[in-house]
């Protein structure tokens, strides 16, 4: 079978149109939370230094420490894990997981005790709020976490709201807010340590 230049040109145009339609379809499938998660996954394999920037007196101990986020790990295309070290304390891991075909994003905190066993207060967090954007995602506390907090005498935490703000190639900011509580940590994305 031979093709002349006109036929080849038509096939090339057809392939380009299909590719453009596919790209448009994929762009339409993206949601704010899936776009945010995809941006976080571009950081996988890297580690970043951070610091507490809020002024709540109960965070004085954390303010004295270097915060280390990472290495950020792409567990799968839908899940990202981020170890959080506070000085030499390596007991915390954050995770983000895409759910419901990209329409939902879950945020969880995992904590271990000094011996490496799970802390009774672990695996808490929530699902991204509908108001979230591709650069700022808000996670109100979920019912499972509320139950865990109450079981462990942490009633003040039942109204927790966590958030991440991503300023590409500059900073990743983590916040915890509730009545009479504001914690903000900022990580420098411009200077990965590995």
- Each residue's pLDDT tens digit, 119-151: 999 999 999 999 999 999 999 999 999 999 999
Provide the CATH number for the domain formed by 30-188 in this structure: 2.40.128.20
Closest CA to 34 of 70, 78, 74: 78
CA–CA dist 42, 47 (Å, integer): 12
pLDDT of residue 29: 76
Closest CA to 178 of 163, 164, 162, 159: 159
CA–CA dist 47, 45 (Å, integer): 7
**Which helix (H) or strand (E) covers residue 79, if one does?**
strand 79-86
Per-residue pLDDT tens over the stretch 58-68: 999 999 999 99
Domain ranges of the chain: 30-188
CA–CA dist 159, 164 (Å, integer): 17
pLDDT of residue 20: 37
139 alpha-carbon distance from chain centroid: 10
**pTM (two decimals):** 0.83
pLDDT of residue 114: 86
Helices (H), the chain: 5-29, 32-41, 60-63, 143-151
Which of the residues in the chain have pLDDT under 70? 1-28, 194
User: Kindly report the CA angle at 72 between 56 and 91, in degrees rounded to 5?
Assistant: 55
- What DSSP state is assigned to residue 42? T
pLDDT of residue 182: 96
Q: What are phi and psi of 147, to 5 degrees?
A: -60, -45
pLDDT of residue 2: 54
């Amino acid at each position: 079978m031979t093709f002349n230049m006109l036929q080849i040109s038509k096939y090339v145009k057809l392939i380009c149109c299909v590719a453009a339609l596919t790209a448009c379809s994929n762009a339409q499938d993206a949601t704010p939370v899936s776009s945010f998660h995809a941006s976080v996954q571009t950081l996988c394999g890297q580690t970043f230094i951070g610091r507490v920037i809020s002024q709540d007196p109960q965070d004085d101990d954390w303010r004295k420490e270097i915060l280390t986020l990472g290495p950020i790990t792409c567990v799968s295309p839908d899940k990202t894990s981020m170890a959080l070290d506070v000085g030499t304390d390596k007991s915390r891991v954050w995770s983000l997981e895409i759910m419901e075909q990209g329409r939902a994003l879950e945020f969880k905190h995992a904590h271990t005790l000094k011996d490496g066993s799970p802390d009774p207060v672990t695996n808490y967090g929530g699902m991204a709020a509908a108001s979230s954007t591709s650069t700022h995602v808000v996670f109100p506390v979920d019912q499972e976490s509320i139950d865990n907090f109450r079981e462990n005498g942490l009633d003040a935490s039942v109204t927790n709201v966590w958030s991440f703000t991503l300023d590409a190639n500059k900073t990743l900011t983590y916040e915890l807010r509730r009545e009479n509580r504001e914690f903000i940590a900022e990580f420098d994305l411009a200077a990965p340590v590995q």
